[in-house]
Homo-oligomer: A and B are copies of this chain.
Amino acid sequence: MSEPTQSDPTYEVRPVGWVRSSLTERHGAPRQADEGAPAARIDFRPELALAMADLRPGDRIVVLTWLHRGERDVLSVRPRSDPGRPMQGVFSTRSPDRPNPIGLHPVTVVAVHDRAVEVDALEAIDGTPVLDVKPELGPPSTR
């Protein structure tokens, strides 16, 4: 194995689209999609139409978001803001406060438009940048 990298590279991410949702406040957002998140739409950049051209209703996908309200200097939190729980390192939690505030959202596609997809339940507020969309990893036969 090589020695640890000494350089300090950074990388630039550019949203591929944005979440459109009735959720507008972080504190009103459910913590996970199965706790009552509403349906939502993802509007893609027009120039990325080809990248989303094969999404279909029924597809199980993972939406990667940039949790732009997250605090990036937070290294430990109380899970679910519960004062009865001990502090935990953020890599053991799904807190939006973390060094690179990337959210993972498993959802089902319910409708596909020219440059947008509708999904069943997404726990991200309106305007949240979307960084990527991937299929959920199925068994090898379906890859």
**Contact call A51/B11, Cβ cutoff below 8 A:** no
CA distance A62 to B134 in the complex (A): 14
Chain A: interface residue total (CB-CB under 8 A) = 64
A27 interface contact, C-beta 8 A = no
When chains A and B are docked, how far (Å) is the Cα of A31 from the Cα of B137? 11
- Of the candidates B14, B93, B133, the one whose C-beta lies within 8 Å of that of A91 is B133
Residues of chain B within 8 A (CB-CB) of A137 are 32, 94, 104, 106
Closest 3 CB pairs of A and B: A54-B92, A91-B133, A50-B75
Q: How many copies does the complex hold?
A: 2
Q: Mark interface residues in A115-143 (1 if CB within 8 Å of B CB, else 0).
A: 00000000000110101111101001001
Q: Using Cβ atoms and an 8 Å threshold, which residues of chain B touch A21?
A: 1
Which residues on A are within 8 Å of B, measured CB to CB?
A: 1-2, 4-5, 8-16, 18, 20-22, 31-32, 34-35, 41, 43, 48, 50-55, 59, 61-62, 64, 66, 68, 75-76, 79-80, 88-94, 98-100, 102, 104, 106, 126-127, 129, 131-135, 137, 140, 143
